[in-house]
Amino acid sequence: MQLQLTDDGSATIYLPEIDEHYHSVKGAITESRHIYRDCAFLHYPSSDKTLRLLEVGFGTALNASLTAMAASASHRVHYITLERFPISIEMAQTLGYGQFVNPDIFQALHKAPWGESIAINEFFEIEKRLCDFTCDSLPNSIDVVYLDSFAPEKQPEMWTNEALSRLVDVMNPGAILTTYCAKGEIRRRLQALGLVVERIAGPPGGKREILRATKPV
């Protein structure tokens, strides 16, 4: 694992063995804010019920940190995140995210034990699951999905029809899924599984388009 600075000044992790980054090199914090917090979590209608959010790929906890900071009385969250190969707390501390997110929240997310549901603040609780997304059981009744796996050419098993079908099956009617991956093949697979898929503008200075998919009511 190597630390790399992205164009917006925030860091990401580079894996030379598969030639892949955890975030866009155009901007890690910009990508997470736009694709996941803004276009998925905050796009979901406000409610007095607790929203159930499923993240595929805990990674650096950047998505989780931004979501915890945005949680409120009208956007309460039970955040379930899946990760097969978590980074160490020591690696997380080298990222320098304290200037972009609440450092106490960031630390609490990384220190939260795996396999338990832990309250991070009054509006946000996290459940970290150490598991293989492609074959282990998934939580049900999901309202929002952050599909943040490595790219299809790097992790093709995460983007198969079977894998995506597992996600669609646990989504509630009206649930929203967003992903940075706007490849035509992925869009068609999601459509074939019954989701209404739209191409929307990508993050400033980054990808031109991303995907947002909604499960019909």
What confidence score (pLDDT) does residue 105 get?
Answer: 96
| 1 C-beta neighbours (distance < 10 Å), count | 12
* pLDDT for res 60: 95
- Residue 89 CB neighbour total at 10 angstroms: 10
Residues 6+ apart with CB under 8 A from 82: 54, 55, 56, 57, 58, 129, 131, 133, 138
pLDDT digits (tens, 9 = 90+) for 100-124: 999 999 999 999 999 999 999 999 9
The CATH number of 33-214, from 3.20.20.60, 3.40.47.10, 3.90.1310.10, 3.40.50.150, is 3.40.50.150
Low-confidence ranges of the chain (pLDDT < 50): none
* pLDDT attached to residue 205: 84
pLDDT of residue 47: 87
pLDDT of residue 181: 94
